[in-house]
Amino acid sequence: MTLPLVTTIESVVFSAADIALAIQRMAEEIARDYAGREIVLLGVLKGAVFVTADLARALDSIPGGPSRIELDFLGVSSYGNASRSSGEVRLVQDTSHSIEGKHVLVVEDIVDNGLTLRYLRMLLGGRAPASLAAAVLLDKPYNRRVEVPVEYVGMVCPDEFVVGYGLDYQERYRTLPYVAKLRAEVFDA
Ligand code: PRP
């Protein structure tokens, strides 16, 4: 059974205003740290599309920040099954330009068990960037399987399955302008 989207939302966890404020705070920190530098914002498809776009525009509007902001994306996919949540991550779409010698900031919507970001840091770190750091809108630190550094965190997410602002459940809900918790019926449907 497919329920209408709005009726399946139990509560809003982070409003659009919360998200905008968190992104602005991250952008101000990043602008300070990368002042005068050329930076590559590397969004991780698909979930980070919205945060990458909003962070790029927030950064661009801060005087004295990076001298140039290049946008690029890559796609990763996690796979495994219920009995073996392997957390294996693989690259399904690479960047369009080389990152060698560049200041790279990986942008993620969420870090949960940490495996995706660890994989990306190892992969990208092996490509000789000038520097590598991560900016993550939502840090969900309760179920880490690996420790991984996150230099810029927007907000700490409660230990709930959340959707919206890029985050999906079975490819739905990504376009919500806020982050929300779903009603339990959704998972039973
Ligand atoms: C989500 C999210 C991160 C990853 C984080 O992506 O966008 O990339 O999971 O989880 P982890 O810390 O537990 O590894 P997902 O695999 O759902 O793909 P999507 O972005 O295309 O929705």
pLDDT digits (tens, 9 = 90+) for 136-149: 999 999 999 999 99
Predicted pLDDT at 186: 85
* Catalytic (active-site) positions: 112
Predicted pLDDT at 78: 82
- How much of the chain, in percent, has pLDDT values that exceed 90? 86
Supply angle C-alpha 50, 52, 56, rounded to 5: 120
Q: pTM for the full model?
A: 0.94
78 lines ligand 1 (CB under 6 A): yes
Predicted pLDDT at 86: 62
Examine the pLDDT at 66 and tell me if it is beyond 80: yes
**Atom 20 of ligand 1, residue of closest alpha carbon:** 47
**Atom 8 of ligand 1, residue of closest alpha carbon:** 116
Q: What is the pLDDT of residues 69-127, one digit of tens each?
A: 999 999 998 865 443 446 789 999 999 999 999 999 999 999 999 999 999 999 999 99
Report CA(103)–ligand 1 centroid distance (Å): 23
Predicted pLDDT at 55: 98
Predicted pLDDT at 83: 37
Supply angle C-alpha 78, 159, 183, rounded to 5: 90
Predicted pLDDT at 87: 73
Using N-to-C axis directions, what is the helix angle for 49-60 and 16-33, rounded to 10°?
60
Q: Which atom of ligand 1 is nearest to the CA of 89?
A: 14
Higher pLDDT, 62 or 83: 62
Cis peptide before 46 (omega within 30 of 0): yes
Instruction: Please report which confidence band the pLDDT of residue 184 belongs to, taking 50, 70 and 90 as the band edges.
Output: confident
Average pLDDT for the chain: 93
Write the DSSP symbol of residue 164.
B
Of 154, 159, 173, residue with least CA distance to 18: 154
The two structure tokens encoding residue 11: 């509560």
Cα–Cα distance measured from residue 50 to residue 45, given in angstroms and rounded to the nearest whole number: 10
Which of 50, 88, 109 for mutating ligand 1's site (highest number of atoms within 8 Å of CB)? 109
Q: Which atom of ligand 1 is nearest to the CA of 78?
A: 16
Supply angle C-alpha 131, 87, 122, rounded to 5: 20
Q: Identify whether the C-beta of residue 132 lies closer than 8 Å to the C-beta of residue 100.
A: no
Predicted pLDDT at 1: 53
The two structure tokens encoding residue 161: 């399955």
132 lines ligand 1 (CB under 6 A): no
**Atom 21 of ligand 1, residue of closest alpha carbon:** 46
**3-state DSSP: the chain helix, strand, coil percent, rounded to 5?**
30, 40, 35
Indicate left, alpha or beta for 119 from its phi (over 0: left) and psi (-120 to 50: alpha).
alpha
Chain centroid to CA 145: 18
Write the DSSP symbol of residue 1.
-
